[in-house]
């Protein structure tokens, strides 16, 4: 929930901002309201360089499969690289890469363009072409960004899989996308540890169903021992050696799929969110410009991983499209100690810093325990704007971030958006919006967000409801790869008369200001440390342990550090275990889920029962399980339960 403190934009943030003052914000919103297509067309022409200019703006004839700028052609990599070199920014630093061990490498726009072109040529030489899908399973690296840009350059659609996902998850994504190649690294370095990547690719491909894969390209990061399949595997340094440093971009239609990114929904199977080229790039660039007010001298740092949408829009594309200088960080916030972020801000004179509430909360704990890693022990004067993303930020964490990291002078942009939205949807603009801790404030200009009831009718301010977007916007999800029906059902369901985009979150608007506060997901999706997890996905993983598990139900419960924690209720195929045996089996199941999905999906809490609380018709009562998980006394009516006694049993943790 939001607090009642108001923070008007400081004079220094208003002065010279791209959107300066609330009047400027209101004017943009009014322009979008008065001429929606004209508004987006104007910014699409000003922000993006088109090979062939578009003449059509929005095509709604196939709704909800909307098309934007459909007869225009462009190339994202041209917009992010060549365009900056042509503008005289060739020698400007595009990326400051800081490795896990602290080693720093700077890459200029000219160099980034050359590296991207070489890899693009190498991909082409292997027969990879426009429309092919390429899976990228990489750690945070310049090479990871280059791989994404190289795909964009030749019109191949990339699908980045977060390096923390398991072989099984990777296999499922490769198969669903029908990918022709994987770009990976031998290993990744995180927190001083060498973690496998190539070995997981090998395991994924050996699981079967990946016959479409012809090439595996491996970036040598650590030189660790890896297996090699001749004819399929090649080193990145070998494939680019001798390739030309120029490569004519493939000019693609605006609607051409730039990337797929798999995310969790309310059913078991992750969905391949498909994004466009033109509309996506426009929003990536425009939000980077207005929300972060990114200016030529800024040093921008988004701490997300390129495996998530935040790393796509605000590392691989947005800041580069504007010719910015950005940090790419390989490591973790707590290595070698929990002062790492603050030290890096100090060392690189970071001016815009964008991170997740979970990271802030864990760094607060560390700073309170040890003054040496408190932000006050570092010089953070270079900062001018702070950002938050991925989950609600609680007012206490907001205040700490504002005071101790931002020195009380830096506006915090609490950006609400989703994998599906491509970029910010509801967010303050730093030189315009009065901030309220815990509220993501107002829609980005041109985004028609609203809070409605079950029938799709707008509810009065002050009343909670369902968050929707009333009009299509350029960077929205185009479809779910290979499953257009699921796209329609998930985001434009019939009971909403297929009218509005359904975000899957609840929201409430402030009675006086109309500011939005996100109240959390209204479906079976959890948000753990800003990572999105489907409860059904975890349940499927648990019951896949056919030897042990008869039935499982997964719910979330609030957690001080991770926002939400995963709590699993499990019925075994053997008598309910207790004591050490329960601990041992809980560990086995946790590791099992880690192997099936990835370590991020491991339940924090596993409780065993002889059964699950069910209605007489056999439906699991998740509402009750949520209360049990929270440790609440059950006050709800349990008279419809088949087996009320089960609640006591499930209340006992291991």
- Closest among 383, 472, 476, 372 to 424, alpha carbons compared: 476
For ligand PRX, the binding residue among 348, 361, 374, 521 (CB under 6 A) is 521
221 annotated as belonging to a binding site for a ligand: no
Q: Which stretch binds ligand PRX (CB under 6 A): 65-73, 91-99, 244-252, 499-507?
A: 499-507
For ligand PRX, the binding residue among 2, 117, 362, 419 (CB under 6 A) is 419
- Closest among 322, 284, 326, 323 to 302, alpha carbons compared: 326
Task: Name 149's Cβ contacts closer than 8 Å, sequence gap at least 6.
Answer: 76, 77, 80, 81, 112, 116, 316, 320
414 annotated as belonging to a binding site for a ligand: yes
Residue 501 within binding range of ligand PRX, rule CB under 6 A:
no
Which two tokens mark 136? 């990228």
Q: Using the Cα atoms of residue 621, residue 599, residue 333 and residue 185 in order, give the sign of their dihedral.
A: negative
235 annotated as belonging to a binding site for a ligand: no
Task: Name 94's Cβ contacts closer than 8 Å, sequence gap at least 6.
Answer: 84, 107, 108, 109, 111, 112, 320, 324, 325, 326
CB of 275 to ligand PRX, least distance (A): 12
423 annotated as belonging to a binding site for a ligand: no
Name the residue whose CB lies closest to ligand PRX. 419
Residue 414 within binding range of ligand PRX, rule CB under 6 A:
yes
Q: How far apart are the first and last CA of the chain?
A: 32
Q: Which stretch binds ligand PRX (CB under 6 A): 232-240, 242-250, 417-425, 619-627?
A: 417-425
Q: Which stretch binds ligand PRX (CB under 6 A): 411-419, 457-465, 636-644, 646-654?
A: 411-419
- Closest among 486, 495, 557 to 520, alpha carbons compared: 557
The neighbour count for residue 240, using CB atoms within 10 Å, is: 22
Which alpha helices (DSSP H) does 550-640 contain, by range? 579-596, 622-630
Residue 392 within binding range of ligand PRX, rule CB under 6 A:
yes
CB of 222 to ligand PRX, least distance (A): 29
Residues 201-230 that bind ligand PRX (CB under 6 A): none
Q: Which stretch binds ligand PRX (CB under 6 A): 19-27, 91-99, 153-161, 497-505?
A: 497-505
For ligand PRX, the binding residue among 340, 348, 509, 532 (CB under 6 A) is 532
Residue 539 within binding range of ligand PRX, rule CB under 6 A:
no
Q: Which stretch binds ligand PRX (CB under 6 A): 29-37, 500-508, 547-555, 644-652?
A: 500-508
User: How many residues at the interface with ligand PRX, by CB under 6 A?
Assistant: 21
Residue 389 within binding range of ligand PRX, rule CB under 6 A:
yes
Which two tokens mark 586? 């809980």
Indicate the residue among 69 and 280 with the shorter CB distance to ligand PRX: 280
For ligand PRX, the binding residue among 20, 168, 169, 527 (CB under 6 A) is 527
Distance CA 539, CA 579 (A): 23
Burial of 520 (0-12, 13-18, 19+ CB in 10 A): middle
415 annotated as belonging to a binding site for a ligand: yes
529 annotated as belonging to a binding site for a ligand: yes
For ligand PRX, the binding residue among 263, 355, 358, 433 (CB under 6 A) is 263
**How open is the CA angle 4-526-626, to the nearest 5 degrees?**
85
Collapse the DSSP code of 149 into the 3-class scheme (helix H, G, I; strand E, B; otherwise coil) and give the result: helix
Residue 564 within binding range of ligand PRX, rule CB under 6 A:
no
CB of 622 to ligand PRX, least distance (A): 18
Which two tokens mark 525? 């999706």
Q: Decide: 201 and 184 in contact? Cβ < 8 Å.
A: yes
Q: Decide: 146 and 116 in contact? Cβ < 8 Å.
A: yes
CB of 532 to ligand PRX, least distance (A): 4
Summarize as ranges the residues that interact with ligand PRX (CB under 6 A). Answer: 263, 309-310, 389-392, 414-419, 440, 503-505, 518, 521, 527, 532
Binding residues for Mg(2+): 543, 545, 549
């Amino acid at each position: 929930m939001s607090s009642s403190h108001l923070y008007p934009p400081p004079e220094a943030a208003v002065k010279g901002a791209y959107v300066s003052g609330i009047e400027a914000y209101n004017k943009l919103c009014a322009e979008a309201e008065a001429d929606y297509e004209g508004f987006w067309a104007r910014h699409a022409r000003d922000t993006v360089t088109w090979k062939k200019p578009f003449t059509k703006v929005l095509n709604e004839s196939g709704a909800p499969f909307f098309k934007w700028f459909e007869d225009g052609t462009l190339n994202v990599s041209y917009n992010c690289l060549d365009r900056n070199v042509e503008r005289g920014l060739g020698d400007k630093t595009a990326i400051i890469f800081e490795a896990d061990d602290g080693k720093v490498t700077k890459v200029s726009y000219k160099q980034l363009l050359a590296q991207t072109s070489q890899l693009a040529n190498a991909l082409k030489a292997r027969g990879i072409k426009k429309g092919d899908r390429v899976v990228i399973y990489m750690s945070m690296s310049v090479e990871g960004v280059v791989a994404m840009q190289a795909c964009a350059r030749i019109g191949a659609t990339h699908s980045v899989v977060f390096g923390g996902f398991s072989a099984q998850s990777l296999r499922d994504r490769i198969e669903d996308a029908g990918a022709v190649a994987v770009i990976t690294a031998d290993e990744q370095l995180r927190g001083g540890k060498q973690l496998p990547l190539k070995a997981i690719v090998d395991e994924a491909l050996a699981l079967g169903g990946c016959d479409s894969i012809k090439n595996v390209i491996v970036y040598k990061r650590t030189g660790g021992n890896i297996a090699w399949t001749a004819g399929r595997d090649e080193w990145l340094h070998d494939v680019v050696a001798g390739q030309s440093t120029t490569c004519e971009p493939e000019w693609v239609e605006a609607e051409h799929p730039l990337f797929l990114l798999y995310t969790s929904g309310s059913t078991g199977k992750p969905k391949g969110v498909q994004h466009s080229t033109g509309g996506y790039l426009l929003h990536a660039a425009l939000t980077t410009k207005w929300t972060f007010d990114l200016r030529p001298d800024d040093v921008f740092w988004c701490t997300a991983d390129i495996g998530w949408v935040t790393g796509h829009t605000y590392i691989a594309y947005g800041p580069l499209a504007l010719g910015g200088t950005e940090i790419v960080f390989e490591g973790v916030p707590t290595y070698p100690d929990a002062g790492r972020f603050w030290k890096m801000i100090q060392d690189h004179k970071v001016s815009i810093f964008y991170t997740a509430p979970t990271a802030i909360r864990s760094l607060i704990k560390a700073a309170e325990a040890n003054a040496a890693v408190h932000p006050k022990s570092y010089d953070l004067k270079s900062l001018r704007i702070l950002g938050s993303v991925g989950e609600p930020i609680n007012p206490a964490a907001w205040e700490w971030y504002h005071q101790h990291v931002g020195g009380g002078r830096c506006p915090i942009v609490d950006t609400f958006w989703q994998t599906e939205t491509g970029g910010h949807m509801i967010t303050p603009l730093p030189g315009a919006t009065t901030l309220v801790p815990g509220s993501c404030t107002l829609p980005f200009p041109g985004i028609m967000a609203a809070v409605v009831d079950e029938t799709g009718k707008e509810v009065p301010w002050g009343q909670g409801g369902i968050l929707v977007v009333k009009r299509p916007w350029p960077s929205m999800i185009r479809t779910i790869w290979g499953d257009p029906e699921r796209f329609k059902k998930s985001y434009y369901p019939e009971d909403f008369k297929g009218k509005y985009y359904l975000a899957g979150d609840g929201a409430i608007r402030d009675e006086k200001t109309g500011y939005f506060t996100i109240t959390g997901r209204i479906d079976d999706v959890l948000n753990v440390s800003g990572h999105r997890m489907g409860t059904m996905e975890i349940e499927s993983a648990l019951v896949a342990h056919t030897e042990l598990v008869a039935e499982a139900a997964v719910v979330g419960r609030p957690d001080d550090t991770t926002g939400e924690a995963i709590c699993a209720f499990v019925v075994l195929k053997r008598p309910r275990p207790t004591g050490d045996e329960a601990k041992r089996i809980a560990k086995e199941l946790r590791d099992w889920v880690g192997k099936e999905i990835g370590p991020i999906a491991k339940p924090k809490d596993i409780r065993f029962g002889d059964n699950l609380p069910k209605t007489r018709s056999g439906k699991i009562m998740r509402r009750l399980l949520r209360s049990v998980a929270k440790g609440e006394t059950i006050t709800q009516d349990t008279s419809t339960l088949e087996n009320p006694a089960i609640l006591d049993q499930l209340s006992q943790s291991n």
